[in-house]
Homo-oligomer: A and B are copies of this chain.
């Protein structure tokens, strides 16, 4: 119930690489942009990246208190999350009230999210066709887009086909 870096796709990929890559990318981006990736912000980012399952603000809060022994209250977490979202280092999954690390923060994108009901894993896509179809519809309505959010709930390949994959995928990560 507190395994460090489970990741629903555990065994499928080197998640430590995901994390260190994300942190390095974040550091570089912030430096380039002239914004401060403080220790707190970096730690929150790391906690969001704990797995590919979106994490709630209060779960982050708990970890800051329990694991880090840090004094923290909701605003502590929400401010860090706000910063990370402004910098596009994380995304908010509206339908879950939770946050997930962005796969490629260096490039602006209108992403789509595939959210598995069973394992909770979110797969971030960046499909031009989807974005274009949405933009075309918006244009017809005379609507100018600020932000589009596409959240698709369903069952991922691993959960649907346990035999084939034989993944240890199993159950949810941050339970």
Interface residues of A (CB under 8 A from B): 94-95, 112, 114, 116-117, 123, 125, 127, 129-130, 132-134, 136-138, 140-157, 160-161, 166-168, 173, 175
Per the bound structure, the CA–CA distance linking A94 and B141 in Å amounts to: 22
Q: Is the CB of A144 within 8 A of B134?
A: no
Main secondary structure of the interface of A (DSSP, over half): mixed
Per the bound structure, the CA–CA distance linking A29 and B133 in Å amounts to: 31
Instruction: Specify which chain B residues have a CB less than 8 angstroms from the CB of A155 in the assembled complex.
Output: 143-144, 146
Q: Is the CB of A143 within 8 A of B154?
A: yes
Per the bound structure, the CA–CA distance linking A80 and B114 in Å amounts to: 29
User: What are 15 of the A-B contact pairs (CB < 8 Å)?
Assistant: A112-B137, A129-B136, A130-B130, A133-B133, A134-B152, A141-B157, A142-B156, A142-B160, A145-B152, A146-B153, A148-B151, A149-B149, A149-B152, A149-B153, A150-B150
Per the bound structure, the CA–CA distance linking A132 and B137 in Å amounts to: 13
Per the bound structure, the CA–CA distance linking A94 and B69 in Å amounts to: 34
Instruction: Specify which chain B residues have a CB less than 8 angstroms from the CB of A142 in the assembled complex.
Output: 156-157, 160-161, 166-167
A95 touches which of B94, B145, B157 (Cβ 8 Å):
B94
Per the bound structure, the CA–CA distance linking A147 and B75 in Å amounts to: 32
